[in-house]
Amino acid sequence: MYYRLISTLGMSAAALAAAQPAYADSFKLKPIIDARLRYEGVDQDGLAKDADALTLRMRSGVEATSGAFSLLVEAEGTLALSENYNSGVNGKAAYPIVADPENVELNRAQIQFRGLPKTVVTLGRQRINLDDQRFVGSVGWRQNEQTFDAARVEWTGVKNLKADVTYAWSQRTIWGVDGFGARQQAVSGDNILANLSYKLKTGMITGFAYIVDQDEAAVTYLGRPFSLSSQTYGARAAFSVPLSKAVKLNLLASYARQSDYHRSRIDYAADYWLGEIGISAKGWTLTGGYEVLGTDASACNKVNGAAVVASLQTPLATLHKFNGWADKFLVTPPNGLRDAYGSIGYTLPKVGKMGPLGLLVAYHRYDSDRLGIDYGSEWNAQATLKISKRLSGLIKYADYNADAFGTDTRKLWAQVDYSL
């Protein structure tokens, strides 16, 4: 699909050049620098060795703006300073997976036009994050970001209303230039990502339609590569309601229905449910929620000769944000997933000349959506600190205790981020 991207950018660059004389006085160049040094250690039962991954990621580029046009080009590189881990593509199967392979790539290359009233048009390789990234996101947690070769239109012509529609012909995955098999560098297809949101005084209501039609297999499902083509239609509502000057009530609810689409090799229909409630007061936040990624027990499918059920999948999502940081449920099990969770957080505005300092502890209890299987439980803990205007640090821990799914796994992260 490179010819589409090159053709799009070529025409866009020509348009920018033609437009520049009219906007000469407003021509601007903005450098892009974003660096991250991270240690990730993983102790996973059943594997001979523990993972010790020390990686350095650098993104650098430039954004040129002239009047209503802007052109952005950004490269991304990840270097393994210590490669004692299974990156998913380096063949080191004795280690646990740390999904940060060495990589050098063109991360973003986009042209943007803002010359129409209340409209933004973006063409090329770009970052796309919709809502909370449950269905579509850039996977910003991993060193190699997920981007999309796409055409996107954002329209805000009616007060408080936003329409956001994208056609994406390629998903540039986190596996980088050495990706292969079920962990490909890129997954081509015809994806329609439509989002309509209305802003209220205390929150936002959103309707969405995500049609994913993948040409290649993007994941391994029950031991076999599968194309996770699907159609998902749903709605989301998020509110933050002041109860007093110091106390806020946070409410979140979402529902979606997903079914197979076009190239899918599995016939199914499954539901997604999310309900969350939280209280914020004087730096403290207490949250509880329940998320269901459903399954279709009535679906008649055969995989490797065996009859199986099928579950809701979110192959374009920022999956690390959901269902625990140990990443045990990046692919929803065939019997679905129910995640009951709670967290408590505290933010301290200043620590000397630094800050804010954020502290968070969370607990998850996982069960299947059918058959009542106890998958396991997980504790998460995190501390973040804004060190200076451009520098921040993080320490993070996940401890997954397996019952009937996966194996006991412990993960520790320490990282420093710098951005210009």
> Which tokens go with 230?
């699907």
Does position 90 have pLDDT exceeding 50, yes or no? yes
| Average pLDDT in the chain | 91
**pLDDT value, residue 13:** 46
**126 close to 147: Cβ distance less than 8 angstroms:** yes
pLDDT of residue 308: 60
* Helix/strand/coil for 284: strand
Cα–Cα distance measured from residue 172 to residue 126, given in angstroms and rounded to the nearest whole number: 10
- State how far the Cα of 253 lies from the Cα of 289, in Å rounded to an integer: 10
pLDDT of residue 23: 47
What is the pairing mode between strands 219-221 and 203-212? unpaired
- Whether the per-residue pLDDT at 25 is higher than 70: the answer is no
CB 97 within 8 A of CB 86: yes
pLDDT over 70 percentage in the chain: 89
| Entry field: residues in the chain | 420
Question: What per-residue confidence (pLDDT) applies to 267?
Answer: 83
SS3 call for 329: coil
Contact 293, 257 (CB under 8 A): no
Query: Both tokens of residue 174?
Result: 């986190």
Q: How many helices (H) and strands (E) does the chain have?
A: 1, 22
Q: Kindly indicate the confidence band of residue 213, based on its pLDDT and cuts at 50, 70 and 90.
A: very high
Confidence of residue 323 (pLDDT cuts 50, 70, 90): very high
Helix, coil or strand: residue 19? helix
Closest CA to 365 of 398, 406, 324, 336: 324
Lowest-confidence region among 110-124, 222-236, 249-263, 282-296: 222-236
Q: Is 9 helix (H, G, I), strand (E, B) or coil?
A: helix
Residue pair 210/135 in contact by the 8 Å Cβ criterion: yes
Interior angle at CA 103, CA 100 and CA 106, nearest 5 = 120
pLDDT at 7 over 90: no
Tracing tokens 């959103």 back to the chain, one arrives at 206
Given a cut of 50, whether residue 8 has pLDDT beyond it is no
The arithmetic mean of pLDDT across residues 62-71, rounded, is 96
Of residues 187, 182, 287, 293, the one with CA closest to residue 232? 293
Question: What is the rounded distance in angstroms from the CA atom of residue 75 to the CA atom of residue 101?
Answer: 16
Nearest-angstrom CA–CA distance, 86 and 401: 21
DSSP per residue, 51-116: EEEEEEEEEEEEEEEETTEEEEEEEEEEEEEEEESB-SSS--TTSPB-----EEEEEEEEEEE--S
Among 10-24, 297-311, 314-328, 398-412, which is the least confidently predicted range? 10-24
Selection from 361, 359, 358 nearest residue 378 by Cα? 361
For the cut 80, the answer to whether the pLDDT of residue 45 exceeds it is yes
The predicted structure's pLDDT at residue 221 = 53
State the pLDDT confidence band at 290, using cuts at 50, 70 and 90: very high
Confidence of residue 214 (pLDDT cuts 50, 70, 90): confident
Tens digits of residue pLDDT in 152-202: 999 999 999 999 999 999 999 999 999 988 888 999 999 999 999 999 999
pLDDT band at 227 (very low <50, low <70, confident <90, very high): low
Is the confidence at residue 6, as pLDDT, over 90? no
pLDDT over 50 at 259, yes or no: yes
pLDDT, residue 304, reads 54
Window from 92-96, 193-197, 272-276, 295-299 with minimum mean pLDDT: 295-299
pLDDT(11) > 80: no
Model pLDDT, residue 10: 46
